[in-house]
Amino acid sequence: MADQDAGSGEDKRPTGIPALRWEEPPEGPVLVLLDQTRLPAEEVELVCTDPAALVEAIRSLAVRGAPLLGVAGAYGVALAAVRGFEVEEAAAALAGARPTAVNLAVGVRRAQAAHREALARTGDPRQAAAAALSAARALHREDAEASGRMAAHGLALLDELLPAGGHRVLTHCNTGSLVSGGEGTAFAVALAAHRAGRLRRLWVDETRPLLQGARLTAYEAARNDMAYTLLTDNAAGSLFAAGEVDAVLIGADRIAADGSVANKVGSYPLAVLARYHHVPFIVVAPVTTVDPDTPDGASIEVEQRPGHEVTEVTAPQVPVAGAGGGIPVAPLGTQAYNPAFDVTPPELVTAIVTEEGVASPVTAEALAALCARSRQV
Ligand code: MRU
């Protein structure tokens, strides 16, 4: 078992490069991404000069995680506009690049609406492009601010639920600064607990098949000097049975109006384990992840990913061989079931923490009230 305690403390940034940034070199504006498929082996930038490159980066998970997908989608619309691409076409391609994380479509729509409004008002494509960019920048800023507020609400909730302190928190997938303009969602809460001296251990699920936990969350935890331990996803059950988990903290890709939570596949089994073992199961997400147009869990479209992600090892440091570019770990031609997400029903969720406050118990009414609060600001 990889067990990493407090490290050197030299560099507190989760990576040397922000997950995403807008730049305006003399050759023309670009969206620069930290290529997350290459982490933790190397920090490599991916420079998008057109919306098609960004769509590919989204599909390949070079840029990923619900809040950051929203920000990327908004910048993608701005990129299309400033570089003279057909904006409506680009917006449709960006919004459809991945179906489950609602933030992507929300971010795209926000920049698209700003673009349309400015174009209708001024008739000037340059002013419309500037409006789209300013909408993307505003969303980026708001996302960073929301992180801080979610962390504060989440830590207060943890302390309330676990008054003894010394929290041992299990998390799944990756929810830190690699998915956000700020410090993330669930990870930001764990980080706040760590900074307050109240995180005893962060249990990190490796998150098969693309290893966002092992490659990205462990990376962020190490960079922040957190006491963390990596486990295979299927070791979680014995960890609960041993009484080693005080709370589960995860993010969300879409929360239906009834409180059903779509998140990285493997989240639902953790919710079932948590209920059986009487452990709080806490979801942390900005209100933009709550989708009032999706009534319930059954209405959430779950992205199905290619089978080779399961039948081959595709970690970045592994040389290429199989059909998907990785080393085969199953007989050639093996069919794979590879949903990217699963859906946890609201009755298994102890609380949903947003930047506007906490819904607990998780009900449609409580969620609607948090969303209404955000619209008033
Ligand atoms: O397929 P991914 O890596 O984009 O999935 C990401 C997740 O499932 C995260 O847990 C979710 O987006 C919440 S991030 C705050």
182 lines ligand 1 (CB under 6 A): no
**What tens digit of pLDDT does each residue of 358-368 get?**
999 999 999 99
User: How high is the pLDDT of residue 5?
Assistant: 38
pLDDT: which is higher, 319 or 2? 319
**pTM for the model:** 0.94
- Please work out whether the CB of residue 103 comes within 6 Å of at least one atom of ligand 1: no
Q: How far apart are CA 351 and CA 274, in angstroms?
A: 13
Q: What is the pLDDT of residue 8?
A: 38
Torsion 37-42-45-46 (CA) sign? negative
The answer to whether 253 is a known catalytic residue is yes
Mean pLDDT of 363-374: 96
- Evaluate whether 125 touches 82 at the Cβ level (below 8 Å): no
Which residue matches tokens 């919306």?
51
Q: How far is the CA of 257 from the centre of ligand 1 (A)?
A: 19
For residue 251, give the ligand 1 atom closest to its CA.
13
Ligand 1 geometric centre to CA of 27 (Å): 33
The rounded Å distance from CA 28 to ligand 1 centre is 31
Mean pLDDT of 253-259: 98
Q: Does pLDDT of 31 surpass 60?
A: yes
State the chain's mean pLDDT as an integer. Answer: 93
Please state, as a whole number, how many other Cβ atoms lie within 10 Å of the Cβ of residue 298. 11
Which residue in the list 143, 246, 253, 342 is annotated as catalytic?
A: 253
Residues 293-331 pLDDT 10s: 999 999 999 999 999 999 998 665 555 556 677 889 999
d(CA 78, CA 129): 6
Furthest C-alpha separation in the chain: 65
What pLDDT, in 10s, does the model give residues 134-183?
A: 999 999 999 999 999 999 999 999 999 998 888 999 999 999 999 999 99
- The span from the first CA to the last CA of the chain, in angstroms, equals 46
Q: What is the Cα 191 distance to its own chain's centre?
A: 16
ipTM of the shown complex: 0.98
Instruction: Write the residue with the smallest CA distance to atom 15 of ligand 1.
Output: 175
User: What are phi and psi for residue 187, nearest 5 degrees?
Assistant: -65, -35
Q: Binding site: which residues?
A: 64-66, 98, 212, 263-264
pLDDT over 70 at 12, yes or no: no
Ligand 1: which of 212, 233, 352 to mutate, most ligand atoms within 8 Å of CB?
212
Contact (CB, 8 A) for 31 and 79: yes
Residue 55: count of CB within 10 angstroms of its CB? 20
